[in-house]
Amino acid sequence: MSLSEPNARPPQALLYVQDLPRAAAYYAGLPGFRAVPAGSADVLVTAPEGETLVLLRAGTEPPPALAAPPAGPGAWVYLHRRDLPDLAARLRQAGLMPDGPTVTYPGYRQMLLPDPEGYVLAFWEELPVTDDQILELYRTGPARLADAVGRLGDAGLDVPRAPGKWTARQIVHHIVDSDAETFHVLRIALALPGRRIATTVWENDEWMRGLACDRRAVEPAIALFAAARAWILEALSHLPDALERTVTWPSGYTASVRDLLRQQGGHAVHHILQLEEMQRRLKK
């Protein structure tokens, strides 16, 4: 695949590898994947649903056409895949041992597969979900976040999830910053349904640095998280068609309030699960 082909996606992630031939052979052997050498030190991997990854020999630089965000050691690489049980069966037939698939919260199923270089392929798919489940996930997020933070304690907040990863404190701020951004979008969708909105610059690590998320207190952030969600839920109670109202980005992408609530409810729980896992590790 060439990036000049119609509809080709830019690479999603850059994976530095120690043994390029081994890594390329591994990905080429995954059901539905393609691994094509792009140069002497890099291989372009295409997943079944079109995501692309770059395998790059450690110590080299990617050509400009293959530039992508580098994945840190042990990073999870998210790939959408329909029918995860079928993929799991095919992987096991090939002698691989995926973890899952598991329904991690209503409407979301995930399966993990480590690669030979220590990265983790996190395959995911959305499942049917009711409006009541979406609203419950959104409503319970603040209490669950506060509980996870309380169990971690002050010392646990500054423990990184893994070497080179965010600390628990940074994860909390990321949850709240993402929700605060979408809070504004939700308000536009509810007040001015169908309107087009301006694109906001959103780059996770830049927000982390710019807002000093590595050292700020989490209590005001958790209070903001709870207040914003309470505001949205109270507004929904006055608008019978609220979940159907939409907003459109400059690209033409349109999302309903239902879509946004599902997205943010799941996003928060995804990271709260990370905090809960960190707390369990600290107890051992």
Q: Domain segments of the chain: what residues?
A: 13-126, 131-283
Q: Name the stretches of the chain with pLDDT < 50.
A: 1-7
CA–CA gap between residue 15 and residue 160 (Å, rounded): 21
Contact of 199 with 252, CB cutoff 8 Å: no
pLDDT in tens, 115-164: 999 999 999 999 999 999 999 999 999 999 999 999 999 999 999 987 77
Sign of CA dihedral 157, 159, 160, 164: positive
pLDDT of residue 9: 65
**Torsion, Cα of 127, 130, 136, 142 (10° steps):** 40
Expressed in angstroms, the distance from the first to the final Cα of the chain is: 47
Q: 78 Cβ partners below 8 Å, 6+ apart?
A: 122, 124
Fold of 131-283: Four Helix Bundle (Hemerythrin (Met), subunit A) (1.20.120)
- For the chain, what percent of residues have pLDDT higher than 90? 79
- Domain 13-126 sits in which CATH superfamily? 2,3-Dihydroxybiphenyl 1,2-Dioxygenase, domain 1 (3.10.180.10)
pLDDT of residue 66: 85
pLDDT of residue 264: 97
Q: Taking CA 30 as the corner, what is the angle to CA 27 and CA 31, rounded to the nearest 5 degrees?
A: 145
Instruction: Write down the residue that tokens 């329904």 correspond to.
Output: 103
